[in-house]
Amino acid sequence: MAYFQFQITKVMARKRLVVLVVSVLLPIYSQAFDSKATGFRAAVVKVDITPEGHQMLLGYGARKSTGVNDRIYHRIVVMDDGKTQFVLVSSDICVMSPAEYDRVAARLKKQLGIDPVNFWWNLTHTHSAPELGPPGLPALFMANRYEHHFDSDYAEVTEKKLIDGIAEARQKLVLARLGVGWGLSQANINRRAKDIDGKAYLGMDPDGAVDRRIGVLRLDKEDGSPLALLANYAIHGTVLSGENLLISGDAPGVVAEYVEQKLGVPMLFINGAAGNIAPIYSGYPNPKAGRMNQFRVLLGEKILAANKSISATTNDISLKTASLIVETPRKPELGWIDELKDYTRTTKAGVNMVKLPVRFLQINDDIAIWSAPLELFCEISNEIRDRSPFPYTFYFGYGNGWLGYLLTEEEIKHGGYEVTVSPFTPVAAQHLTDSVVNHLQGKK
């Protein structure tokens, strides 16, 4: 009798253990299942990258900062549809070498398992931010500007903050919704002034090509409260001139901070095809002279209006990433930078080519975003947007590095500063346009 009572006790103990295990694990599995079933999650992190000491500033001639006007940041968004996890970063930096992007992308792949095709690092293009990493292609065009060594300590700190920020965002993913819309701002102007001889100079051309559309993506939490905003607008970060020695996010930074104050969440300012587009106030020695705070109204209020116009959001989100290499001849007799050897090749016929990486993000069936490491002229992105089958087509500029200005064939004829810092020939615009449009239209 004692033996059978012992066996019954063992069976009951096993049953209690099974019930305990199920009661503990079932909620965990249910949460995982619900997360995948619901699909879309997102998170945002804002990280201060303002240096403590003086730094060489990038933009204009070589010069060292003497202080800080406004702080600069990494702003990081992670989106996850259950299959694809996409990382978008907007940093208050002017430009960087594609080799700098490659180094950070490799670290992210090793440490966090993020495929580079799903990691986009876009820069706001402020001309009053510190240098970040080795100069890359600019040293080819402006060797005298880079007689000093870059600050490797600042680069390491900034890179670590980026990687840590991405890791933090991945831990903060919450169920989310996404909405999209358009806005309009006249805060910019074509900067390719032309004299009677047809030659182009840095200035203002009220009749020149421009892109004044604002592309807006809004991320909300599942309950409808705001999570983050992304605003895509073409404008040079040149309200402040080379006389300014204070670190600043320039107009993009001022606008982002203003929108964040109004909404209570971070805003990623994503620059567009700003190669030939300046702010309407440009080249001033200090923020007051440049009316920099007026951009809170000129652009910030327009972004807020565009945000309000988004009447619907959805949690039914599909993210698809892709990439391609556009090959186009580089200028004859133009040299190259050793660290960028992966971005060029020589054909059997002896023609030196630029290997231009282009990234794509498709969100559902109506949003297409493409990005390249270029200072692109707006006519090119305008044409691609007009020919795209997607109703919302955005160009995210200064993405994953800088390989120079890419002008239209017509604008190259007028010369000017941009032509001198471009590695491309007149056929490059057509090569890029055809490649991107074919991809967006689903053509091989």
Query: Under a CB-based contact definition with an 8 Å cutoff, are residues 270 and 122 in contact?
Result: yes
CA distance 241 to 287: 10
- Contacts of residue 8, defined as CB under 8 A and 6 or more positions apart, other chains included, come to none
The confidence score (pLDDT) of residue 39 equals: 82
Query: Under a CB-based contact definition with an 8 Å cutoff, are residues 50 and 71 in contact?
Result: yes
User: Using one digit for the tens of pLDDT, what is the confidence trace for 155-203?
Assistant: 999 999 999 999 999 999 999 999 999 999 999 999 999 999 999 999 9
CA distance 247 to 92: 10
CA distance 162 to 78: 12
Sign of CA dihedral 307, 312, 314, 318: negative
Place of tokens 């209570």: 264
The confidence score (pLDDT) of residue 325 equals: 98
User: Using one digit for the tens of pLDDT, what is the confidence trace for 229-267?
Assistant: 999 999 999 999 999 999 999 999 999 999 999 999 999
Helix (H) / strand (E) containing 164: helix 152-171
Query: Under a CB-based contact definition with an 8 Å cutoff, are residues 340 and 98 in contact?
Result: yes
Angle (CA) 129 382 307, round 5°: 65
The confidence score (pLDDT) of residue 8 equals: 39
Structure tokens at 363: 């969100």
Place of tokens 């003497």: 66
User: Using one digit for the tens of pLDDT, what is the confidence trace for 25-59?
Assistant: 333 333 333 334 458 999 999 999 999 999 999 99
Query: Under a CB-based contact definition with an 8 Å cutoff, are residues 387 and 410 in contact?
Result: no
Query: Under a CB-based contact definition with an 8 Å cutoff, are residues 159 and 176 in contact?
Result: no
- Closest by CA position to 46, among listed 78, 77, 75: 75
CA distance 323 to 346: 22
Instruction: Report whether 125 belongs to an annotated binding site.
Output: yes
Query: Under a CB-based contact definition with an 8 Å cutoff, are residues 146 and 138 in contact?
Result: yes
CA distance 99 to 103: 6
Query: Under a CB-based contact definition with an 8 Å cutoff, are residues 213 and 35 in contact?
Result: no
Of the listed ranges 19-28, 193-202, 217-226, the least confidently predicted one is 19-28
State the virtual CA torsion across 403, 407, 413, 418 in degrees, nearest 10: -50
CA distance 346 to 369: 30
Helix (H) / strand (E) containing 358: strand 352-363
Residue type, 6: F
Q: pTM for this structure?
A: 0.91
State the virtual CA torsion across 195, 197, 198, 204 in degrees, nearest 10: 0
Q: Is the pLDDT of residue 21 over 60?
A: no
Overall size of the chain counted in residues: 444
% of the chain at pLDDT higher than 90: 90
DSSP assignment of 46-78 equals EEE---SS--EEESSS-EE--EESS--EEEEEE
CA distance 332 to 401: 23
CA distance 310 to 231: 13
The confidence score (pLDDT) of residue 38 equals: 53
CA distance 294 to 276: 22
